[in-house]
C-alpha cells in the first residue's frame, strides 16, 4: 500500500485470484463453521458472559485469514502479539521493529517450506507459481503475506465490536434484521459507511496541479484523505450522521478507492455478513454489560475498542 505502479500492479495481480468474490464465496462454509465453533466455545458449560473482542471479533478474522493464507492457526497468539506491536500508535518504535523482524522471519521460513511441500493455499501458490518462477522475490512474497495477515484481521476485528454496539444502540433496526436476514448485506454496507474504521487519514501525493473545493493543490504536495469525512458527506448521503440499515450505501469509501482499494474487501464483507447474523441469532438476549462511552479505545491506527464485555441472559 506504500507502492505505486508498475511494481504495485505486478504484485497485486499475483494476489487477485485468491481474493475474488467467487474464491471468497467458496470459503463461506468454512467461515460459517468458524462462527459456529467460536460461539460454541463462548457459551460452553452454560457461560453467560464474555469479552466479545477476545472470544469472537478477533479470532473470526484471524482464523479466516489464516485459512486463506495457509498459516497454521496454532501460531495465532504469536501473530496477535506481533501485529499489536506493529500497528500500535502508542507503542515503542524499537518494539515495533523487533515485531516486524520476527513476523518476517517466520513467514519467510513458511514460504520456503511450502515451496517444498505445497498445499492448497495462497502461500503455497505464491511459493510455487511466483517465487519459484522468478516472478516475485522471496522478500516481496514475504512482505505481501505479512501485509495481508495484518490487514486481514486488524480491520474486521475492530469493525465487528463497533457494529455490535451500533446495532444494540438501534434496537428497532436490529429487530428488523432478525426478522428478515436477507437484509444483512445492505446493512453491512451501511455499517461500513457509518463506522469507517480507517480513521487515521490516507496519505497521497498530488501528481499534477489541481483545485479542490477552492483550494489550490500543487503537484508534489502531500494530501491526507479523510475517508470517515467523505462517508458522512451530506451531498452524498441524506442525514449522513444517522445509521439507517435500509439505506443504499453503495459507493461508500470504507475500503478506499482506485488503485489501492482494499484487496480483501470481499473477505471482510463475508465475515461481517455471516458473523453478525450468526451472533444475534445464537444469542438473542445479547447486551452490553458496560456503557460504551467507558470502553478503552484501541491504540491501533484502526479505530475500535480493546474489549467489549457482553452477556446474553
- Show the domains of the chain with their CATH numbers: 7-186+264-311 (1.10.630.10)
Q: Does the pLDDT value for residue 88 go beyond 70?
A: no
In degrees to the nearest 10, what's the CA dihedral of 160, 91, 144, 24?
-10
Cell triple for residue 37? 465453533
Among 32-46, 175-189, 215-229, which stretch is predicted with the lowest mean pLDDT? 215-229
Question: φ and ψ at 33, to 5 degrees?
Answer: -65, -40
Using DSSP, state whether 154 is helix, strand or coil. Answer: helix
% of residues, the chain, pLDDT over 90: 55
Q: Are 58 and 50 in contact (CB under 8 A)?
A: no
Q: Does the pLDDT value for residue 23 go beyond 80?
A: yes
Q: Does the pLDDT value for residue 245 go beyond 70?
A: yes
Q: Which residue has the cell 444475534?
A: 280
Mean per-residue pLDDT, 228-247: 94
Name the pLDDT band for 154 (thresholds 50, 70, 90): confident
Q: Does the pLDDT value for residue 186 go beyond 90?
A: yes
pTM: 0.86
Bond prior to 149 in cis (omega within 30° of 0) = no
Between 85 and 269, the more confident residue is 269
Among 46-50, 62-66, 261-265, which stretch is predicted with the lowest mean pLDDT? 261-265
Burial of 135 (C-beta count, 10 Å sphere; 0-12/13-18/19+): middle
Mean per-residue pLDDT, 42-65: 92
Q: What is the pLDDT of residues 250-265, one digit of tens each?
A: 899 888 887 677 777 8
Among 187, 159, 186, smallest CA distance to 255 is for 159
Q: Are 286 and 312 in contact (CB under 8 A)?
A: yes
Q: Does the pLDDT value for residue 173 go beyond 90?
A: yes
DSSP 64-94: HHHHHHT--GGGHHHHHHHHHHHHBSSS-HH
Burial of 162 (C-beta count, 10 Å sphere; 0-12/13-18/19+): buried
Q: Are 305 and 296 in contact (CB under 8 A)?
A: yes
Report DSSP state, residue 7.
H
* d(C-alpha 207, C-alpha 241), whole Å: 32
Mean per-residue pLDDT, 26-45: 95
Q: What is the pLDDT of residues 89-112, one digit of tens each?
A: 566 888 888 988 998 999 999 999
What mean pLDDT is reported for the chain? 88
Using DSSP, state whether 223 is helix, strand or coil. Answer: strand
Which element (helix H / strand E) includes 49?
strand 49-51
Among 292, 276, 53, smallest CA distance to 169 is for 292
Amino acid at each position: 500500500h506504500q507502492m505505486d505502479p508498475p511494481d504495485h500492479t505486478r504484485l497485486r495481480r499475483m494476489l487477485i485470484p485468491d481474493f475474488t468474490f467467487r474464491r471468497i464465496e467458496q470459503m463461506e462454509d468454512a467461515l460459517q463453521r468458524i462462527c459456529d465453533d467460536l460461539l460454541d466455545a463462548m457459551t460452553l458449560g452454560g457461560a453467560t458472559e464474555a469479552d466479545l473482542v477476545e472470544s469472537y471479533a478477533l479470532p473470526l478474522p484471524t482464523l479466516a485469514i489464516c485459512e486463506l493464507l495457509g498459516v497454521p492457526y496454532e501460531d495465532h497468539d504469536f501473530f496477535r502479539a506481533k501485529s499489536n506491536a506493529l500497528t500500535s500508535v502508542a507503542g515503542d518504535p524499537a518494539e515495533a521493529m523487533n515485531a516486524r523482524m520476527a513476523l518476517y522471519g517466520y513467514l519467510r521460513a513458511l514460504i520456503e517450506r511450502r515451496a517444498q511441500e505445497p498445499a492448497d493455499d495462497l502461500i503455497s501458490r505464491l511459493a510455487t507459481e511466483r517465487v519459484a518462477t522468478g516472478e516475485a522475490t522471496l522478500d516481496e512474497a514475504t512482505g505481501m503475506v505479512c501485509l495481508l495477515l495484518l490487514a486481514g484481521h486488524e480491520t474486521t476485528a475492530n469493525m465487528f465490536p463497533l457494529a455490535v454496539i451500533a446495532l444494540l444502540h438501534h434496537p428497532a433496526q436490529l429487530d428488523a434484521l432478525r426478522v428478515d436476514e436477507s437484509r444483512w448485506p445492505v446493512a453491512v454496507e451501511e455499517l461500513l459507511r457509518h463506522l469507517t474504521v480507517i480513521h487515521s487519514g490516507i496519505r497521497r501525493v498530488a501528481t499534477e496541479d489541481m483545485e479542490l473545493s477552492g483550494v489550490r493543490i500543487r503537484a508534489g504536495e502531500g494530501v491526507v484523505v479523510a475517508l470517515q469525512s467523505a462517508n458522512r458527506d451530506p451531498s452524498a448521503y441524506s442525514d449522513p450522521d444517522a445509521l439507517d440499515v435500509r439505506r443504499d450505501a453503495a459507493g461508500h469509501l470504507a475500503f478506499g478507492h482506485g488503485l489501492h482499494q482494499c484487496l480483501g474487501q470481499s473477505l471482510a464483507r463475508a465475515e461481517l455478513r455471516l458473523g453478525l447474523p450468526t451472533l444475534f441469532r445464537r444469542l438473542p438476549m445479547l447486551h452490553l454489560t458496560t456503557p460504551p462511552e467507558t470502553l478503552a479505545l484501541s491504540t491501533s491506527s484502526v479505530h475500535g475498542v480493546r474489549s467489549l464485555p457482553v452477556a446474553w441472559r
